């Protein structure tokens, strides 16, 4: 596929620009890139204090609430940050689109690389907290879930970056949609709450966000959504991801020649 060839051919440029982009986000501040790690860390700690110690929310299994909650919120923050940044990346890198011959296909990947430093930090937090409680990760499943999350990010932002470039208002709509996805994905609530609504439960379980969030949790608590119900949710995830990529790739390729004109 031409897209994969382009990414591989320009991998060094993508990596270099990704690192530079992360550093430049906080270049004008005294603490620099530390802010990139501090903000999500404080957000996670605040949620844990509120739900575990103030509201005393129980976990849906025989494990501490922090072990259930932190992996899910960490992967969500990583996904949300990557999606929002990659979706606006072509507009943010408009000078590359308009002034030089540059492989435009790589620009959303640059933003995903930039966000990956904080994403890795969030995964390390999840591993550390769960290890403190005595819950060690299934390494092979962790690698698979990270790979699945990366594939979904690339597919999803292939679509959203193209649409945001053509229709700037879509960025605001996407921000609203991500808020809705947050509340309709079992991040601060658990799937057992939908046990009396089997149809809705199946639909929610088959969504990519639920698959990734639940899968990351299973890495630590011993579940396995990957093989659950004869691989139903895994098959659904990869079909949806593949269709989103095909759709986004078609829109991107059809309109990328016009990006310079609309920027």
Q: What is the pLDDT of residues 123-179, one digit of tens each?
A: 999 999 899 999 999 999 999 999 999 999 999 999 999 999 999 899 999 999 999
Cβ contact 69:53 at 8 Å: no
Whether pLDDT at 237 is above 90: yes
Q: What's the mean pLDDT in 107-124?
A: 91
pLDDT of residue 39: 84
> Of the candidates 250, 92, 252, which has an alpha carbon nearest to the alpha carbon of residue 162?
252
> Out of 17-26, 154-163, 218-227, which region has the weakest mean confidence (pLDDT)?
17-26
Q: How far apart are CA 25 and CA 5, in angstroms?
A: 29
The model's confidence at residue 263, banded by pLDDT at 50, 70 and 90, is low
Chain length of the chain: 263
The model's confidence at residue 30, banded by pLDDT at 50, 70 and 90, is low
Q: How far apart are CA 2 and CA 113, in angstroms?
A: 20
Whether pLDDT at 197 is above 90: no
Domain range for residue 210? 2-262
Q: Which two tokens stand for residue 115?
A: 């966000």
In the chain, the percentage of residues whose pLDDT exceeds 90 is 47
Whether pLDDT at 215 is above 90: yes
Whether pLDDT at 186 is above 70: yes
The model's confidence at residue 64, banded by pLDDT at 50, 70 and 90, is confident
> Of the candidates 229, 234, 223, which has an alpha carbon nearest to the alpha carbon of residue 138?
223
The model's confidence at residue 85, banded by pLDDT at 50, 70 and 90, is very high
Instruction: Check residues 100 and 159 and name the one with the higher pLDDT.
Output: 159
How many domains is the chain partitioned into structurally? Answer: 1
* Average pLDDT of the chain to the nearest whole number: 87
Cβ contact 240:208 at 8 Å: yes
CA dihedral 147, 151, 153, 154 (to 10 degrees): 130
pLDDT of residue 49: 84
Whether pLDDT at 34 is above 80: no
């Amino acid at each position: 596929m031409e897209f994969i060839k382009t990414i591989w051919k320009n991998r060094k440029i993508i990596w270099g620009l990704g690192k530079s982009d992360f550093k430049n986000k906080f270049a004008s501040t005294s603490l620099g890139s530390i802010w990139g790690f501090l903000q999500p860390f404080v957000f996670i700690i605040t949620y844990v204090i509120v739900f575990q110690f103030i509201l005393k929310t129980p976990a849906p299994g025989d494990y501490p609430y922090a072990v259930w909650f932190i992996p899910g919120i960490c992967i969500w923050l990583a996904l949300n940050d990557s999606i929002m940044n990659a979706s606006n990346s072509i507009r943010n890198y408009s000078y590359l689109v308009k002034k030089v011959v540059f492989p435009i296909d790589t620009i959303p990947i640059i933003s995903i690389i930039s966000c990956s430093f904080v994403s890795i930090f969030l995964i390390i937090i999840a591993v550390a907290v769960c290890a403190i409680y005595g819950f060690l990760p299934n390494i092979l499943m962790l690698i698979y879930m990270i790979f699945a999350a990366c594939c979904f990010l690339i597919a999803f932002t292939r679509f959203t970056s193209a649409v945001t470039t053509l229709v700037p208002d879509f960025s605001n709509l996407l921000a609203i949609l991500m808020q809705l996805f947050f509340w309709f994905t079992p991040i601060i609530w658990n799937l057992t709450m939908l046990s009396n609504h089997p149809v809705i439960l199946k639909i929610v379980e088959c969504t990519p966000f639920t698959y990734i969030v639940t899968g990351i949790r299973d890495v630590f608590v011993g579940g396995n959504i990957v093989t659950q119900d004869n691989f139903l949710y895994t098959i659904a995830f990869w079909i949806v991801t593949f269709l989103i990529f095909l759709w986004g790739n078609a829109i991107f390729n059809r309109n990328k020649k016009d990006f310079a004109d609309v920027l």
